[in-house]
Chains A and B, each alone.
Chain A
Amino acid sequence: MKPKRVWRRKRAIPIRIPPHIPFLLPFAFLVTLFFFVPVVLNILLAFTDMDFAMHWNFVGLKNYFRFFTDRIIPKVLLNTVIYVTATLAINVGLGLVLGILSTYYVPENVGLLFRAIWLLPRMTPPVVYALLWLWVLDPTEYGLLNMLIGQNVNWTMQHPLGVVIIVNGMVGASFGMIIFSAAIKSIPRDYIMAAQVDGASNWQIVRRIIIPLLRWPLMFVTSWQTLSLLTSYEYILLVTDGGPFYKSEVWSLYAYHTAFSHQLYGYGAAIAMVLVIVAIVVTMIMLKIFGFRRLMELAGGG
């Protein structure tokens, strides 16, 4: 009897690709291409004196030395601190007030309409939003604000930093408003009702129940907005362009102007690099203060 041939399955060498890798690959590719490569390029660029000619001349730390001796830098840093602090106060403070007002104090549908109106500037293209402000602030008698107060004030020249703070604050507050109102809605009504039964006033409910329960959203909005204010400049560019004479120039805009208006790409990259380092440090400090680790523990299964 012919022995029955036993087909032995050749043992395949298993290529063990963890199942999540194929899912991650496209994103890893995109992140590498659009985030990692530009970061590396920027780091390299900051060591060159590249200008309009676009030559990769490596000059060591020259750009960084120049950063610390640039006479405009102290002014720009001070502007940045004032701008970020004041705008953040408006963004978080006004956002909180709007969030509480539109969810706790007024009926649901009125609150919805109110929030939709506040969201309009966020849905408007920045150029249109900035243009509207320029019309409001026009220095002639045709400016809306000047018409209202009955005299000609050149707002963007006399109060450039104030103007950019308000312009950014108004558009930024809607972000906090949305996050806070969603968080307030998720507070169980029982707490509020129980407090009302105990005779708590509205103010006491806000102070003792709502705000303490908004701790994590507050942390999130504050750190998120700090970072985005440090690095964004489009409204300032459109409304005052940093002027007059650097009075409303902030750090990120100075990097932009240096690189793209003055065509000093190397120095511009170095200014941006220092900003990145500062932003990282600020974020770490904030996460430490707010106890970010505890938040993650709670979410993870605590």
Chain B
Amino acid sequence: MNRWCVGFLIAAMLGFAGLAAETVEITAWASGSPVDATRCLNLYLAGGYLENELDAEGAALGIDVTCQYTHVEDWAAYMRRFRLAFEAGQAPWIFAAGHELIGELADAGLIIPLDEYYEKYWDKYELGDLYQPLIEACKYQGKLYGFPQDTEARPVYFRKDVLRKLGWSEEEIEALPEKVLKGEFTLDDMIAVAKEAVEKGLVEWGIYHRPSPGGYFHMITMAFGGILQDPETGKLVLDKNAILKNLQFHARLVAEGVTPAAMTQTSWRSIHKAVVEGKVLFWFGGTWHWAEWQRVAYHGELGTLPEEYEWENLGFMLVPAAEKGGKPVTQSHPFVYVVTKQAENPELAFRLIALTAKPDLVAKHALGSGHLSIRKTNTAEYTSWKFGNAVTYMLDYTTTIPNHARWSVYHRAVYDAIQAVETGAMSPEEALAWLEDKLTKELGDELIVKG
């Protein structure tokens, strides 16, 4: 479907482009979940703005944007595709990716620093209005390689209807996010409630987490007080204490019977189906799922969820603290646009992506995809968005994953270790020993082993 829409738009843009005297073709690749297609569509709309600007500057130049949108489930495969396209000289000008991939892309010499354009267009495009930590997330070895596209938080969703059946009052349910915030409701409490719901037969499973490598697994390390990167040297850190606790947490989820041992072999679709149908109590999700459930028919009877149904049956909270009185966490994963070395006119590419940060386009993407705004000044439509307002406080508790050239090795290995523990292939201690051995061998000097 998306491909057809994109194809149609491309055809339309080509038609218009034919009318302009001289046309520059700007190519882009973007990706994400099924509701993130605005990562491409906003580039088309920004293309219109850019054309107007160029007109006003007296440069009669047509802008013809061609963007390929892919619904990615396997990031390693998608990155490989980009790598090979680059090798074949067919890389797009603009590539949209998670901020943590900047290190790898920059190190391989595939993308260019954008500092000079940031400087040149800082005032023109009011870049000071963007949240600075998001711009910081584009930094690798002191240079800015990306431009923020969106951000989000990763809450834990809970089924209000199940808690009601467990005998919780409406007030108790509404107070849960607040209790998490104060550190009164911990990960242990969460497991206890989940176990109770499973034992009473109210749900099939108590807690679900994502089935593929992703930020979630590191967020749990950070919930246990761990760090991923050394702030001084920028090297990756294997925080053994925190990682062991992370592994023990996942082993316990399975041992207590609240999470299936085959969690990492469950398809995304059946996970979403179980969450929207109330067959699982807690789900370590992301804000974008709120929008995804409204647009993708996961529910067997209802199909797509009406937003009222979500407010009625689904609540969201930060990831509870590991200990009483501890700090809850969440994670943001700023998505960024980068400009590749094969862009023939990097300046135009930068201007195009900077224009996607205009408040109307930001709001369009945020509301459509459940992501949060990257800027402080927003349209009325965005500021009156109930869900967006309800989750924005989470950004105060957020964490991010590191920008490092070898991040994907670390990222994948931690996931493998958690899978080993959950499926019973290794005990948490064995998995930690394996992880340490693997990472010290593969990362060498780039790793600091702590604890």
Contacts and interface: CB of A to CB of B under 8 A. Distances in A.
Q: Do these two chains interact?
A: yes
Interface of A: 52-54, 66, 69-71, 139-140, 154, 156-157, 243-247, 260-264
Contact of A263 (B76, B270, B416, B438): B76
**Interface majority SS (helix, strand, loop, mixed), chain B:** helix
B438 A71 contact: yes
Contacts, number: 67
Contacts of B423: 157, 243-245, 247
Interface of B: 76-77, 79-80, 83, 87, 104, 107-109, 260-262, 264-265, 270, 405, 408-409, 412, 416, 419-420, 423, 425-426, 434, 437-438, 441-442
B420 A69 contact: no
B108 A245 contact: no
A52 B83 contact: yes
A233 to B, nearest CB: 16
Contacts of B87: 54
B218 to A, nearest CB: 18
Contact of A244 (B76, B107, B425): B425
Given A54-B87, A244-B265, A262-B409, 17 more contacts: A52-B107, A52-B108, A53-B107, A71-B437, A139-B262, A154-B261, A154-B265, A156-B265, A157-B265, A243-B264, A243-B419, A244-B262, A245-B416, A247-B423, A247-B425, A261-B76, A262-B412
B108 A54 contact: yes
Contacts of B107: 52-53
B152 to A, nearest CB: 26
A26 B423 CA distance: 52
Nearest to B101: A52
Contact of A52 (B79, B264, B416, B419): B79
Contacts of B260: 154
A246 B408 contact: no
**Interface majority SS (helix, strand, loop, mixed), chain A:** loop
Contacts of B77: 261
B76 to A, nearest CB: 5
The 10 lowest CB-CB distance pairs between A and B, nearest first, are A53-B108, A245-B420, A244-B423, A245-B425, A157-B262, A154-B262, A245-B419, A261-B76, A52-B108, A52-B104
Most-contacted residue by chain B among A52, A70, A154, A243 (CB, 10 A):
A52
A127 to B, nearest CB: 15
Given A66-B441, A263-B80, A244 B264 contact: yes
Contacts of A260: 76, 80
Contacts of B438: 71
Given A69-B441, A157-B261, A263-B408, A246 B425 contact: yes
A244 B266 CA distance: 11
A53 B265 contact: no
A65 to B, nearest CB: 10
A231 B419 CA distance: 26
A54 B104 CA distance: 11
Contacts of A70: 441
8 contacts: A52-B108, A54-B108, A71-B437, A245-B420, A246-B425, A247-B423, A262-B408, A263-B408
Contacts of A264: 409, 442
A54 B86 CA distance: 11
Nearest to A53: B108
A265 to B, nearest CB: 10
A244 B83 CA distance: 28
Nearest to B83: A52
Most-contacted residue by chain B among A54, A70, A71, A244 (CB, 10 A):
A244
A54 B108 CA distance: 7
B307 to A, nearest CB: 29
Contacts of A247: 423, 425
Contacts of B441: 66, 69-70
Contacts of A244: 262, 264-265, 419-420, 423, 425
B73 to A, nearest CB: 12
B411 to A, nearest CB: 10
A297 to B, nearest CB: 49
A262 B410 CA distance: 10
